[in-house]
Amino acid sequence: MPPRFSLRTRASGVLLHPTSLPGSHGVGDLGDGALRFAEQLASLGQSWWQMLPVGPTGWGNSPYSARSSFSGNPLLLSLHRLLDKGVLDPGDVVPVPGLVPGRVDYPEAGRFKEARLRRAFEEFERRGVPADFETFRAETPWLADDALYSALAGTRGGAWWDWDPGIRGRDPDALERARKDLAREIQFHEFVQFVFDRQWRRFRDHCASIGIGLIGDVPFFAPSDSVDVWAWQDHFDLDETGRARTVAGAPPDPFNWDGQRWGHPQYRWDVHRERGYAWWIERLRITFRRFDAVRIDHFIGFHRSWAIPASSPTAKEGAWAAGPGAEFFEKLHAALGPLELIAEDLGIVPAQVHELRDRLDLPGIRVIQFGLLGDEGASIHLPPKYPRRCVAAPGTHDNDTAAGWYASVQDPAARDRVRRTLSADDRDVPWAMVRAVMASPADVVIVPMQDVLGLGSEARMNVPGVPEGNWDWRIPEGALTPGLLARFRDVTRETGRTPGGRPG
């Protein structure tokens, strides 16, 4: 087992999804580039590498709409690792031509990798299934449904609620026939997850050996077209055809009079409670096999969520639905023991959310961008007011970069207020934001890699509410210059965040 990493230790790290690593196959992966990046973090005095969810990306290439809460994203698989295993030839791992520099090409990377994974599977079959593959299948309870769903989705297409009634309703005889008809395709998807498991283990073990802990991310909701909703239909608010009755979103506010309609089906918490929260507990069990700490997105959902009738085109007709509260966490900890969890408590949340967070003794999140221009109520996001028990950052994956954010501030008085707060001139404001967060009382600071590199809005990872053009940023070639890295190493040391540094 990897050493236990603690969110109570004064430390820092970076936010970088593995897809954003450089590489020659259209997307970053778990190969040597990931190991080298972890080594680079360790050399800079960092202790944490935070990522976005690592499941198979869903609609809009979003890792927050993954089609499975349990399986790993095949795009993250290193083809060079398969070359090393002898199931691919050197010609299979040549660079993909015509890629746009500094961007993930999801369609091309997907086509390229799937073709080579299928070649590797053929060689895997030819050699005979090894014993450790059979052990993996036997010890991975979610794999049977996941691989069957992947095979069905690949052959039938469309949404699962439009499949034939037997498969849609999970009739045992229909499922058994499908398993027989699609046996080889199912085994291919099992093979892909077997490879992901082995590559992730190697990656995580290497990170742990050099003192880098991994922070994962669990979305609160699951998308309708996921294996989770298909396999656990009674746990979600669905009608008899498998379609959502009520969906998730956010209520209207002064910034969006229609509210936000996300479309994910609401949970039936009564069923989750009756089943001992088995789906949620297994979801987090698998996540903690990959990560040392986990951020729970939309933590407010455990208190309440905005439930919208699926027939409503906007979120105006919604109503608050109660979540399970502390009871869920009592069951979770009884099943899994102490866990390093982070409560994503950003935005406008009622006091009960902070009370639940504090009752559970979880760190919340502080973001300096929200404090520099906010009203008096947003001052909790200014570094001098951070509690020790929090995870602080210049921005999250949903924010602009520090440089891009400051460039968007057009009001001269507001810009002057930012400069005075940070004691910085125009050119130095973005880095001063990083330095201020690093110098704060927060136990843990996570800096987006874009801010380490001083990049602008062109490097933004996601713009909420914009359906296309997100999640595709990659580290540009040559961006990791010695000067920028030395600056980050120096501020880490000066603020006592290197391993063994001064207490906060």
| DSSP 3-state of 334 | helix
The 8-class DSSP code of residue 59 comes to G
The C-alpha angle with vertex 45 and arms to 41 and 51, in degrees rounded to 5, equals 40
Can you give the three-state secondary structure of 391-419, one letter per residue?
A: EEECCCCCCCCHHHHHHHCCCHHHHHHHH
Quick check: 214 and 280 in contact, CB under 8 A?
A: no
- Which residue is catalytic, options 29, 344, 400, 472? 344
202: CB partners within 8 A, 6+ apart: 30, 81
- Which residue is catalytic, options 114, 125, 282, 398? 398
Quick check: 21 and 456 in contact, CB under 8 A?
A: no
- Cα gap 94→299, rounded to integer Å: 43
Helices 278-290 and 326-336 pack at an angle, to 10 degrees, of 60
Query: Which H/E stretch holds residue 179?
Result: helix 172-181
297 is catalytic: yes
398 is catalytic: yes
Beta bridge partners of 85: none
399: CB partners within 8 A, 6+ apart: 367, 369, 405, 460
The C-alpha angle with vertex 362 and arms to 358 and 363, in degrees rounded to 5, equals 105
Q: Phi and psi at residue 412, in whole multiples of 5°?
A: -60, -40
- DSSP class per residue in 234-273: GGB-B-TTS-BSEEEEE--BTTBTT-EEEEEEPB-HHHHH
- Which residue is catalytic, options 190, 297, 400, 472? 297
Catalytic machinery residues? 297, 344, 398
